[in-house]
Structure 1
Amino acid sequence: MARRRRVFEVFTLSFLDCICCGFGAVILFYTIVSAQAGVVHIKNIDEMTAEVNRLKDEVLTGTRGLAPLRNTLEITRDEAARASAQTNLILAELARKQEEVSVYDATSLARREHIEKLKADVRSLEAGNKRLKAGSDERAAPGQDVTSFRKIGGERRYITGLRMRGKRILILLDVSGSMLHEDLVEILRLRNTDDAHKRAAAKWRRAVETVNWLLTQVPPGSEYQIYTFNTKAQPLLPDSGKKWISRGDTPRLERAMQALQMIVPAGGTSLQNAFTEAKTLFPLPDQLVLITDGLPTQGKTVGLHKYVNSAARERLFDQAIEEIPHDVPIDCVLLPMKGDLEAAHRFWHLARMTDGTLIMPAKDWP
């Protein structure tokens, strides 16, 4: 009997079992791999979380320290601003000091040039005096026969260039406090003494003797008037007013000399008021003799400042010059005063401008 041929089937139960087992193995493998990957991922997440927490702690710590840093920064900025302001002040002060130094240098240079000019003027005057003295020694001087003015007797020559030549001679005598002495410290000391000591001051006695000498030189037939001035100007003899006194009026001459002995120097010096008062005389003087020791300390009225510097005194002198009578020669007798460097030049210019003479007498004159 013929054997029946077996039918071959591909998808048998055994084959399906193998396929299922293979798929299961694959699924199991992927499950194991996925589980392992999840563990690694969780581990990484934990590490990153720890790192994040650490960074948060650092940020928190930094935030806490940021406030002091901000305060420190504000303090630093304030200090920098103050330092900048202080620097600007120092720079401004430095610029001001440099400007003062430049002005001082310019002033010092001008003063040195002025001093050199004065020295040249003094040398010129000394040379002129020597020439005049040489000429006067060769011929009899007209002043050798003048009247003696001291009780002890004795005659004096005319000092070079100073001659009483006018028909109406006005003598202006400075009676301010500076006439007590040539040194400021001694002036302050004498101001606190009694009137007798003030009248006996050596410098003031020279001024009085100078007026006495001038009075003896008034030419016969001429007239004179004496005005004293400090802050104000007034006639030496109040009853003479604005009138001229005759040279031959002996009683008034004696009264004038006695009045000189009673004066006590005091107060400031207003040369402007003295010249203004001189213009009130009628007729005007044709010769004016000014006896003083330096530049004025006030103008027409007392100034606002208690102390007057050299520049201000020069301005006061210039203001006084504007009040001088026209066409009247002014002879200046300048007594010494320490520290008043500009006085000699200013009064020399005044005498030269009015065709007068500047006299700076020696200690034994007159």
Structure 2
Amino acid sequence: MIRRDRDFQIFNLSFLDVISCGFGAVVLLVLISKTDILKVVDTSELGSLLKSVFQYEATVSELSSFLEEQRARLNALEDKNKILQSEQNKIAKDLQGKIEELAKLEADGSGLELVQSALKTASISKTTAKKRALEVGGIPVDSDYVIFIIDTSGSMLAIWNRVLRTIGHVLEIHPKVRGFQILNDNGVYLLKAYRRRWIPDTPRRRAKVLEALATWRSMSNSSPVEGLEVALKTYAKAGTKISIYVFGDDYTGSSFDTVIRTIESLNLNRITGQPIVKIHGIGFISGRTTNRYSILMREVAKRNGGTFLGLRR
């Protein structure tokens, strides 16, 4: 086989390909490389900028502190306003209460004037007691002993101060007695130490009794029957001058006739046929109470030598 010799060429096609690729790579690197030129900033200008930034930050901090202070002041003012509003409401409520209390006191004063006038008109002396007409009635002041029977129910406790003042006025028309006693409508004694006895009548003793009455609280059924029965069975004795005053505003019992007959039987002097003690009724009347107490006590007082006084609550 005959061997052919080839001519050796330096710049052949493969060499050109390599050179072209290398040149393209260099161009590509130049194109994608960063071409920006760093700017050199003046040091004095940079310091001025930083100073401005710090000043703005200080201003913002001051404004934030001022805003927080204003918010705190606003919260404090709101709290103070709430307190003042609460105090104002309380003062308004207290004022309204005082106005109502004043109106009540004025009404009580008017009622007490009526009580004094009625008691003064009804009171008669010993010499004229026998001459008075039964229909007109009156409160003789010649009794040696006085008994109070007081309804202690809730409706009476609501006007308790007025009740106490009325009791005081009744005592005033009896300036001096040998003794007195106080029971509630159920027959419960105010002073247990004087149960079934008379309380000695002295100015100091009267004051102490009125003081004890101010805080007296006892169960009540708004019926004076039990109290009258206890008083008559214990204290009614022929020849003893006794007056019983019954205070109340309502009667919750049953038959009037049964009660009236029972009281008449207990209070009857078998020899003279006359009542042993005088029974008076004082009623505190209003549109919120029934007239049953007035009906009962008016008839009881009439049949037992007494007087019935109806007072506005």
Normalized against structure 1, the TM-score is what?
0.41
Normalized against structure 2, the TM-score is what?
0.48
